[in-house]
Amino acid sequence: MVKKPLTFVGDQIKGHTYLGKDGKCVTTSEYPEFAWKEIIVNAVAHRDYSIKGTNIQIKMFDDWIAVESLGDLPGIVRLDNMRKVHFSRRSPHFCMSMTMCRNLAKGYMEMEKAGLPAPEYRYNAFMLNATIRNGINVADNVVDTKRFSATEQAILDHLKILPELSAKELVALLHKTARTVQRNMNSLKEKGVLRREGTDRKGRWVVLK
């Protein structure tokens, strides 16, 4: 189950080739191998298998990869301590038999060493989202951040990854009042970069170019 997605994603990862100082061609991956394998393996290891009806999701785009796993953070692990605290409540035997469970701190270090943004982790309802970015500014996918306030940009960042988020969920994620979130969302719609598709209950947000 783990080896197939690792092989598939590995085939999709792009390499950048350039001429090195010694005159030889050098090829580097757009993502450190440890980092992208880490978020996939950990998603399988820590998934809450009591939740039915959907699966782990791997989403690949030109400039980022996101892996969504079901269940809350295991044990005493929290978003603010996950680089230091390790807990294998759900699948310790998987970790031991496969010897594949990854060291989260190393993933951060590998991204930093490559000059890339740190991995991002977000928790929403019953899903944990892990995202890594390759640092490439794709004109068609990246919104000019100078046009927006910090709150507006935070809303866009969340909705690009989880377009099904409700205004109430954004309030909890951003630690802002409902009035502040709604005012900023209205501003984004007026600027023509945010649009709602579908109904209020079953729709999704679309971040426009």
- Structure-block tokens of residue 71: 């269940």
pLDDT of 95: 52
Instruction: Tell me the sheet residues that pair with 70.
Output: 127
3-state secondary structure of 9: helix
Burial class (CB in 10 A: 0-12, 13-18, 19+), 34: middle
E strand or H helix that includes residue 3: helix 3-12
- Tokens 């400039």, residue? 63
User: What pLDDT shows up at residue 105?
Assistant: 66
What pTM value is reported for the model?
0.56
What is the residue whose two structure tokens read 């409902």? 178
Cβ pair 83, 105 in contact under 8 A:
yes
Q: How far apart are CA 123 and CA 82, in angstroms?
A: 12
Q: What are phi and psi of 190, to 5 degrees?
A: -65, -30
* C-alpha span between 31 and 28 (Å, rounded): 8
Residue 38 corresponds to which amino acid? E
156-187 pLDDT, tens per residue? 888 888 888 888 888 988 888 999 999 999 99
Mean pLDDT for all residues in the chain: 79
**Tens-place pLDDT, residues 179-197:** 999 999 999 998 889 999 9
Angle at 26 between CA 58 and CA 115, to 5 degrees: 55
Q: Per-residue pLDDT for 201 more than 90?
A: no
Helix spans in 91-166 (H): 92-98, 104-113, 150-161
Residue with tokens 């580097």: 28
For residue 143, pLDDT beyond 60: no
Amino acid at 171: V
Residues 6+ apart with CB under 8 A from 3: none
Q: Identify the structural domains of the chain with CATH numbers, from first to last.
A: 1-138 (3.30.565.60), 143-209 (1.10.10.10)
Q: What is the pLDDT of residues 7-33, one digit of tens each?
A: 999 988 887 766 667 767 777 888 999
What mean pLDDT comes out for the span 54-66?
91
Query: Around Cβ 69, how many Cβ atoms within 10 Å?
Result: 23
